[in-house]
A and B are shown apart, each in its own frame.
Chain A
Amino acid sequence: MLMKNIVSSLLFLTAIIVCSCTGGKRTSNVSTSVTDLGENNSTTINSSNSLPEHPIINVYLENSGSMNGYVDGGKTMFQQDVYNYLSDVDISGIPSEMNMFFINSKIIPQRDFQKSNTISDFINRLNPNSFRVAGGNTATTDMADIFKLILENTDNDIVSIFISDCIFSPGSVSSPEAYLTNQQIGIKENFAKYCVDHPNFGVMVYQLSSNFNGRYYDYMNKPHQYNGERPYYIWVMGNIYYLMYLKDRIPNKKFQGSGVQNYWFASNFQLEEVAYSVLPAPRLGSFDKVSKSDIKNMKPDENGEFMFTIAANLRLLELVLGDDYLMDTGNYAQLINKELSDEIKIKIDRNTVAKSPATHNISLKIVKGIQREEIKVILQCLPPEWGFEMTDDNDTQLTELNCNKTYGLKYLLNGVQQGLTARGSGYYMYMIVNLK
């Protein structure tokens, strides 16, 4: 009888197993939330939908005396790279029209160019004489005034490309440092005023390098003959909607010659919604996930450490800011209950999970006791680290140590960053995790 009992039990169990076999198995259904993530991001950018599809692109080439060494009838890397970039812009299909200007103390229009045929003419025929003949004040460079002129001629439907060596020329002023500081303030003011009416304004800065042969004017405006490599810059300024398109169509790898040495993007825009979620792993200690941004029952591990990881889809920001910027923990700030805190250690990794829409993993390690609190991580708009490294304080002698640096560069970049963030939040996005 015992055997009968066991056999009948086993028969029932077998039936249960068969019935349950289909339960809970994963299928290959693709969740619609992947699409949702993309839509969330595009919604933010599509707020610029009232913009025309094709902007006017105005190209401003600085023609001060310091630029002479970069041009030689189309033979320099400067001319080849600029020609290549402007051609890429033209054939990208983004601009409705392209106009060329020289710029120094004033804007000097060049003949009505008919796009691609004349980009070649404009760039490759450049030589020191054509700079001089174009006119304007080619002796000194007032960067604040140049940016003011460009911004006055930039609008929601106009993108400006500014090409320059970006060297300040204090000339014979008694205090070059004071001059640079005043320039920085002037630049900040120009950008801040412009941003009042242009909330989605952004700036892309490419640092490139070219062979240079000619007179180099130091900060005292004293000429030195120099033959070697020198940096120069391409600034692209306009509505971020267009900048993203340009960056997408013309990634850094498309630049010719020695390529993009450094890159920086700054803007006064803020992503309204970033797709992010607390991940089950990696982590230290344990917690229960309540929702994408809420966790509870936090417990440190045996070493007293507690860490959790957020996966975030930063694809749009990656496009304009570049991965280097996103991977630099110095560009993030952490807040506990809305106050800046250094009690959270941050670590950024690429998200390598194939199916995940996330691009980055942001690990947050709490080095103090765990409490119920709100943790906020923000990605700030900061001047680039390389801006400090590439700044020359004294260029009276160009040597191996400073030939790839630019006099006063950090004042320029700081001024732009301060102007762009003067009225806005100063950050591109934020993520909040509630510890409950």
Chain B
Amino acid sequence: MDFLDWIYSFKFYGAELFDHLKGWDDEIMDYNPAYYQFLSIFVSIFLAALVIFICYYYIGNNPRFNRWWNWLIELVLVFIFAGWWGYHVVAVDIQNGAIASSIVDKISYNNAIFFGFYNAILASIIFILLTILLRHWSKNCKHSPCTSFITKMKKQ
């Protein structure tokens, strides 16, 4: 959990929203592990990035996709999904009144938008990391968006 806290610790989306997603519970005046949401959010965006990565490099795996802009389209997909998902999680909590009373005044839809953006960037980084680390075994797309470091090494 500490790792996830750190990942989400750049609180430009709102310190109180961070507390909410970490599980702040007025009843116990502390974070309630049952309400901890960073794990589910992170797993969702990680899986989204992974699935899109696998679809592009190993399921689709077509020479026609071996273009940088094909890869960029996948990246944009990841970005949009993760952004929407981050916004959606917070917006639903706002709508359902599932935010602790002590911090609810400080959390608005603007915070949800910023959190969506934060999440989108995070998912994009994950997708880029997956691309760098795991595309080498793709038969047709491993040179997208650019020739990998491993391939360059082998050529030398």
Q: Which of A13, A26, A33, A280 contacts B51 (CB 8 A)?
A: A13
* Complex Cα spacing A276 to B30, Å: 10
CB neighbors of A among B58-111 (8 A): 59-60, 62, 64-65, 70, 73-74, 77, 81, 85, 89, 93, 98, 100-103, 105-106
Q: Which of A20, A26, A277 contacts B40 (CB 8 A)?
A: A20
Stretch touching chain B among A172-180, A252-260, A264-272, A355-363: A355-363
Chain A residues with Cβ under 8 A from B19's Cβ? 280-281, 289
Chain B residues with Cβ under 8 A from A25's Cβ? 98
Closest Cβ–Cβ distance, residue B122 to chain A (whole Å): 15
Measured CB to CB, the nearest residue on chain B to A4 is B60
* Complex Cα spacing A8 to B55, Å: 7
* Complex Cα spacing A329 to B55, Å: 64
Q: With A5-B56, A279-B102, A355-B101 as given contacts, are A23 and B37 in contact (CB-CB < 8 Å)?
A: yes
Chain A residues with Cβ under 8 A from B15's Cβ? 280, 283, 286
Closest Cβ–Cβ distance, residue B57 to chain A (whole Å): 11
* A26–B60 touching, CB < 8 Å: no
Measured CB to CB, the nearest residue on chain B to A312 is B29
Chain A residues with Cβ under 8 A from B74's Cβ? 5, 9
Stretch touching chain A among B41-49, B129-137, B148-156: B41-49
A→B interface (CB under 8 Å): 1-2, 4-6, 8-10, 12-13, 16-17, 20, 23-27, 29-31, 33-34, 275-277, 279-281, 283, 286, 288-289, 292, 311, 353-358
* B55–A1 touching, CB < 8 Å: no
Q: Which of A13, A24, A280 contacts B16 (CB 8 A)?
A: A280
Q: Pick 6 A–B contacts, CB within 8 A, sort by A.
A: A2-B64, A8-B55, A20-B44, A288-B9, A353-B100, A357-B29
Chain B residues with Cβ under 8 A from A4's Cβ? 60
* B29–A279 touching, CB < 8 Å: yes
Measured CB to CB, the nearest residue on chain A to B28 is A33
* B29–A358 touching, CB < 8 Å: yes
**Which range holds the interface residue count of chain B?**
35 or more
Q: With A16-B47, A23-B43 as given contacts, are A1 and B73 in contact (CB-CB < 8 Å)?
A: no
Q: Which of A276, A279, A283 has the most CB of B within 10 A?
A: A279
Taking A292-B29, A311-B102 as given, write out 4 further A-B residue pairs in contact, using a Cβ cutoff of 8 Å, ordered by the A residue number. Answer: A9-B56, A23-B44, A24-B37, A355-B26
Chain B residues with Cβ under 8 A from A357's Cβ? 27, 29
Interface of B is mostly: helix
Chain B residues with Cβ under 8 A from A33's Cβ? 27-28, 30
Closest Cβ–Cβ distance, residue B47 to chain A (whole Å): 5
* A5–B60 touching, CB < 8 Å: yes
* B65–A280 touching, CB < 8 Å: no
* A30–B43 touching, CB < 8 Å: no
Measured CB to CB, the nearest residue on chain B to A32 is B28
* A2–B44 touching, CB < 8 Å: no
Chain B residues with Cβ under 8 A from A1's Cβ? 60, 62, 64-65
Q: With A20-B43, A286-B15, A292-B29 as given contacts, are A12 and B34 in contact (CB-CB < 8 Å)?
A: no
* A280–B24 touching, CB < 8 Å: yes
Closest Cβ–Cβ distance, residue A158 to chain B (whole Å): 39
Measured CB to CB, the nearest residue on chain B to A23 is B40
